Amino acid sequence: MTELSPRPLPFEPYKTKVVERIPNPSREDRERALERAHYNLFNLRSEEVRIDLLTDSGTGAMSDQQWAALMLGDESYAGSRNFAHFEETVRSLTGFPYIVPAHQGRAAENLLFSSVCRPGSIVPNNMHFDTTQAHVLHQGATPVNLAVPEAYDPVSDFPFKGNVDLAALERLLREAGPGKIPLIMVTVTNNTGGGQPVSLENFQGVARVAADYHVPVYLDMCRWAENAYLVREREPGLGGRTIPDIGRAFFDLAAGATMSAKKDGLVNIGGFVATRDEPLAERLKEALILYEGFPTYGGLARRDLEAISVGLTEATQLDYLEHRIAQVRYLAALLEEAGVPFFHPVGGHGIYLDVRRFLPHLGDDDLAGQALVVELYREGGVRSVEVGALMFGTEGAAASRSLELVRLAIPRRVYSASHLAYVADVVGRVYARRTEIRGLRMTYRPERMPHFTARFAPK
Give the Cβ contact number of residue 271 at 10 Å: 29
Question: Which residues, including other chains, have CB under 8 Å from residue 271's CB and lie 6 or more apart?
Answer: 101, 102, 103, 104, 105, 107, 108, 258, 259, 260, 261, 262, 265
* Nearest CA among 381, 296, 335 for reference residue 25: 381
Q: Residue 55 or 121: which CB sits closer to ligand F0G? A: 55
- Least Å from the CB of residue 212 to ligand F0G: 26
Count Cβ atoms below 10 Å from residue 417 Cβ, excluding itself.
18
**Which residues of this protein are in contact with ligand F0G, per CB under 6 A?**
55, 57, 104-106, 129, 131-132, 187, 191, 220, 222, 260, 262, 271
DSSP labels for 46-100?
Answer: GGG-SEE-S-SSS-SPPPHHHHHHHTT----SSS-HHHHHHHHHHHHHH--SEEE
> At its nearest, how many Å lie between ligand F0G and the CB of residue 51?
16
Decide whether 104 or 115 has the Cβ nearer to ligand F0G: 104
| Nearest distance, CB of residue 170 and ligand F0G, angstroms | 24
Which residues pair with residue 274 across a beta bridge? 99, 257
Element (H, E) at 426: helix 417-432
Distance of alpha carbon 57 from alpha carbon 60, whole angstroms: 7
Minimal CA–CA distance to 39: which of 448, 382, 426, 441? 441
State whether the Cα torsion 199-202-208-214 is positive or negative.
Answer: negative
Pick the closer one to ligand F0G by CB: 198 or 333.
198
Name the minimum Å distance from CB 257 to ligand F0G. Answer: 11
What minimum distance in Å lies between the beta carbon of 105 and ligand F0G? Answer: 2
* Closer residue to ligand F0G (CB): 106 or 439: 106
Q: How far apart are the first and last CA of the chain?
A: 39
Nearest approach, Cβ of residue 137 and ligand F0G (Å): 14
Exposure string over 8-27, b if 16+ CB within 10 A, otherwise e: eebeeeeeeeeeeeeeebee
Compare residues 244 and 271 and give the one whose CB is closer to ligand F0G: 271
Q: Please, which residue, 106 or 232, has the CB nearer to ligand F0G?
A: 106
Of 76 and 394, CB closest to ligand F0G: 394
| Closer by beta carbon to ligand F0G, 299 or else 439 | 299
CB of 56 to ligand F0G, least distance (A): 7
The amino acid present at 384, given as its one-letter code, is S
What is the C-alpha to C-alpha distance for residues 301 and 262, in angstroms, rounded to an integer?
15
Q: At what angle do helices 368-380 and 417-432 cross, to 10 degrees?
A: 120
Nearest-approach distance from CB 220 to ligand F0G, in angstroms: 5
